[in-house]
Amino acid sequence: MKLTTTKRLERLHDRYLNSDLSRRTFLTLTAAAAVAGLDMPWMRQALAAVEEVRFDGWGGTVQDAIDKYAFQPYTAKTKIRVVQGTFGGEDEIITKIKTAKPGDFQIVHSSGDYYLKYVNAGMNSEINEANIPNMANVLQPMIEPFRKLTPKLSAVPYDYGTTGIAYNTKVISPEEAKEKGAGLLLDKKYAGKIGGADGMVTRVWYAALATGQDPNNIKDMDTIWAKVLETRDLAKKFWSSGAELMDLLPKEEIVVTDAWSGRVAALQDQGHPIGYLDPAGSYAWMEDMLVLKGSPMAECEELINFMLDPVTAIAVAEGQGYPPSLDPTKVKLTEKIESCRPSTRQA
């Protein structure tokens, strides 16, 4: 009988590791087994209180704001530490997760267009939305794309922005930027002083705009590749992180680049002569808090719910320069958040 029960416990443990069982149910059944006198190598660790949650994000001003206005108050309230890591590009963190054990990485500040990559790789979990009541305040149009891919969500939208064009106003006037639009990234006059994100999605997107094509409905890919190569020949540097972008622009190593709106907002707030333009058709995106398979679900859900609390989310948004995912018809946002919306960050 004990052998049969031991096998059942092993199956229970396997189901939990495969995210087929909630942490709460798993701990309840494990505790019952312990009371009954059963002992497995993993049971003591499982029953130990969770003391920390792992978070990996983009670093720089964005993560600084999350740490100051969300993680530190959360730890003060719950005594659960948030252990943090950073990455430059999301492919980097996905590679690390693939070679790690389930649970080594837990919450990722992920770009929405990467969600399917996690799902296809079997890294996604299943969030219990009842444990995140503040999701009721999140814009439904931001949630629906995730729900179409996985009816049971593994991620919650948190912020959004655009990838527009940043330029040094001492060198390029607002009038010139507006006139040339996406063509500014291909202007030979600025050869050796042009930058850009190193992701191919951005490179193809802006090549499409420069050739007058719809990035979502490209008809002539040969012309697109020609423009991508032309940009490569003119560029000084393709940056791989927001921190690198914020280093290149103030040092004037580059005078024009496609850029993330919140990072440009931070540079403007610091007094740097940086203009910003969202040309027609510029690239818009949203980010989410993604919970990975094998994570302590109850604690991760509690942390995300805390981060979505309007007071917390608004403070983070003001600090990082990206609007929150909160629905403004349900939550009153501040003037500072309104001013950091991508549509108003014009030169």
Number of residues that make up the chain? 347
Amino acid identity of residue 238, one-letter, is F
Q: What is the pLDDT of the chain when averaged over all its residues?
A: 87
**pLDDT tens string 124-158:** 999 999 999 999 999 999 999 999 999 999 999 99
3-17, 197-211, 325-339: which has the minimum mean pLDDT?
A: 3-17
**CA-to-CA dists, residue 150 to 121, 126, 143, 146, angstroms:** 13, 9, 11, 6
Q: What is the mean pLDDT of residues 297-315?
A: 97
Indicate whether 346 pLDDT > 80: no
Phi, psi angles (nearest 5°) of residue 180 = -90, -25
Q: What is the mean pLDDT of residues 72-82?
A: 95
**Model pLDDT, residue 35:** 46
Closest CA relative to residue 65, chosen from 276, 258, 254, 265: 265
Residue 190 and residue 234 in contact, taking contact as beta carbons nearer than 8 Å: yes
By three-state DSSP, how is residue 31 classified?
helix
Structural domains of the chain ordered from first start = 2-47 (no CATH), 55-153+287-344 (3.40.190.10), 161-284 (3.40.190.10)
Indicate whether 315 pLDDT > 90: yes
Q: What is the mean pLDDT of residues 64-77?
A: 97
**Model pLDDT, residue 24:** 52
Indicate the DSSP class of residue 273.
-
Indicate whether 36 pLDDT > 70: no
Q: pLDDT confidence of 38, banded at 50, 70, 90?
A: low
**Model pLDDT, residue 8:** 60
**Model pLDDT, residue 42:** 46
Position with higher pLDDT, 27 vs 308: 308
Indicate whether 11 pLDDT > 90: no
**Model pLDDT, residue 342:** 38
**pLDDT tens string 89-127:** 899 999 999 999 999 999 999 999 899 999 999 999 999
Q: Is the pTM of this model over 0.85?
A: no
Indicate the helix (H) or strand (E) that contains 337: helix 335-339
